[in-house]
Amino acid sequence: MRKNKFDFLQGATVNKIISILIAIFLWAYVIAEVNPVTQQTMVGIPVQLYNIESISERGLALSGEQSFTVNVVLEGKRRDMVQVSAGDVVATADLFGFGKGENTLSVGVSIPDGMSIVEIRPSKIKVTVEELVTAVKPVKLEYSGIAAEGFEPGGIAVNPVEVEVTGAESAVGAVSYIRANVDLEDLDAELKTIQIRPEPVDIEGAAVDNVKVSAKSINVTGRLLKTKEVRLRVEFTGDPDPLYEVKYIDVADTITIKGEASVLEGIDTVTAEPIDLSTISVTKKIKINPVLPEGVEVAEASGSIHAEIGVQAMANKAFIYEPDEIEVRGLDAGLNGDIKVEKITVTASGLKDIIEGLEKGDIIPYIDLGGQPEGVGNYQIYLECDKKTDGLISDPTAVYVIISKNSQ
């Protein structure tokens, strides 16, 4: 039994090997002799745009997407198909004759001999043509990398500070500035000039494609300077307009500067240009301009320091009081004080929001006749108010009073 089973397994193995050899022979025969027709899809073939110069010559330019790809389905003999690569397939679209607006271009495809095109997906592409414009944009420095602790770039000079940007109207309009990115590792204590590739970017700092910049490079001259924090002294001159009151002044008492270490050693205090309060009528921030020695600059930590000056408008308000509205205080019992005045005017001054809410009843005019005997005389008018004002003035400041006994 064992011998028969072994013989059976051995025979089965031989049969499988023979079957595989026959299959390989038949496949080779088909490929070599029959060579059947087959299809293959070439994916992501880039579309080359022809005659871009022709629209530029007419003062036009492409806007938006300018990189297109298509998928091309080819048909041909298997033997030829296995030798084809994506580089053998060329897709093109011609811009000649097209004008402003959205244009639809047909995609043409060139393929090796002996093959045919079954399908192009997509067979058409859409391009937008706009006016070709040029605008001047500012160059702004940005830094990457990390400088040694206590150092930062200084003595910076940029050339050019502006460049021309040319392209489609919408693309040029999207450019906010030209970024020149300086790697801090390229700077050291020695003054040097490095060339930076200009990069058009929008207001968010994202790159804007498909525009041309007039400068091939931006020259940035600079070096690394030492930083130091010192005291800041700011002088305030002038008096605010009488119609305004300074409520507060908020200003930093230190400033960080940068320069050569030998120069910074002798600096402990920096004085700023005086700030004139007479020109201030609203709460505002005023830029502080420190007076610095040559070769010393304001460091990034204090790059834009301001003094905030809080101002509030002042106001006046007048009230008229009749004689019987003037209180008589301190008069001895049995005596009467007769105020001989037609009227008095009381003027209150102070912060506008307080004065505007002030009412006549908030102010009490009175005279003090304490200890005064019968007779006549002029007595000062006093003013009492429980609301905060900057001043109360009475006109007149005194009144004529007759003091007499009460009639029975």
Q: Give the separation between CA 60 and CA 133, rounded to whole angstroms.
A: 8
Residue 373 pLDDT: 92
Rg (CA), the chain: 46
pLDDT digits (tens, 9 = 90+) for 64-95: 888 999 999 999 988 888 888 989 999 999 99
Tokens 């605008």: give the residue: 135
Residue 395 pLDDT: 96
Cβ pair 174, 208 in contact under 8 A: yes
Name the token pair of 292: 């610095």
Q: Give the separation between CA 169 and CA 174, rounded to whole angstroms.
A: 9
Cβ pair 155, 225 in contact under 8 A: yes
Please spell the DSSP secondary structure of 175-228, one letter per residue. Answer: --EEEEEEEGGG--SS-EEEEE--EEE-TTS-B--SEEES-S-EEEEEEEEEEE
Query: Which helix (H) or strand (E) element contains residue 127?
Result: strand 124-144
pLDDT digits (tens, 9 = 90+) for 349-400: 988 889 999 999 999 999 999 989 999 999 999 999 999 998 999 999 999 9
* Among 309, 310, 306, CA closest to 252: 306
Name the token pair of 171: 């693309």
Q: Give the separation between CA 206 and CA 37, rounded to whole angstroms.
A: 49
Q: Give the separation between CA 201 and CA 178, rounded to whole angstroms.
A: 6
Residue 215 pLDDT: 95
* Residues ≥6 apart with Cβ < 8 Å to 401: 337, 338, 339, 340, 367, 369, 376, 377, 378, 379
Residue 408 pLDDT: 57
Residue 259 pLDDT: 94
For CA atoms 47, 51, 53, 58, give the dihedral sign: negative
Q: Give the separation between CA 377 and CA 273, rounded to whole angstroms.
A: 57
Tokens 């590792």: give the residue: 185
Residue 1 pLDDT: 45
Spans of the chain below 70 pLDDT? 1-12, 26-35, 408
- According to DSSP H, which parts of 201-359 are helical? 261-264, 352-355
Q: Give the separation between CA 160 and CA 177, rounded to whole angstroms.
A: 13
